[in-house]
Amino acid sequence: MDEVSTLAEGMERISEKWDELQALIAPLSDDELVRARDDGWSVRDHVVHVTAWERSLLALLRGESRPAAIGLTEEEEDALEIDGINAHILAQAAHLSRAEVRQRSLDTHAEVVALLQSMTDEDVNLPYSHYQPGAGENRSQPVFGWIGGNTFGHYEEHIGWLKQGAATG
């Protein structure tokens, strides 16, 4: 992942990687969206997952509970490893139609973009703990890292997995 140092650069990367992700998803049929790939996840699962972590980012930046944003209690989050959290996210969305998954994804992404557009470089260089008081001493780094990790960096990971799955699936 290329380094970005300003919010404007981050927004550009978010737009670029989001568009690339959408270009992979848009032409797929319903069958292709729900077919399990080599990683055991369907494309639909990848979309649900990315959406949930964008919701977590919104909660982070709004000073709300990140676990609650993805449907967990603080205790559940503490008890689960990342694979368990991701399994929980997918299970919560199992009842959603393809259209609902897609709309939630688009709506959540639009919220992320709008929130970030309201921020400044100074805002994104404040520590994580500024947005999540009580988060602990290891959260003193700029929140910008979490923004990149839950947007363009995360999209890039899933783009790679989706391309790999398309080549082998």
Per domain, the residue ranges of the chain are 7-25+33-168
pLDDT of 1 reads 46
**pLDDT for the residue numbered 135:** 73
User: Would you state the pLDDT for residue 28?
Assistant: 92
Give the residue carrying structure tokens 């649900």: 48
121 burial level (CB within 10 Å; 0-12, 13-18, 19+): middle
pLDDT in tens, 68-107: 999 999 999 989 999 999 999 999 999 999 999 999 999 9
Report the pLDDT value the prediction gives residue 140, as an integer from 0 to 100.
84
Lookup result for tokens 């910008």? 144
Positions of the chain with pLDDT under 70:
1-2, 136-138, 166-169
Backbone phi, then psi, for 127, in 5-degree steps?
A: -70, 155
Task: Give the per-residue SS3 of 37-83.
Answer: CCCCCCHHHHHHHHHHHHHHHHHHHHCCCHHHHCCCCHHHHHHCCHH
**Residue 66 contacts residue 132 (beta carbons within 8 Å):** yes
Read off the amino acid at residue 133.
P
For domain 7-25+33-168, give the fold.
Four Helix Bundle (Hemerythrin (Met), subunit A) (1.20.120)
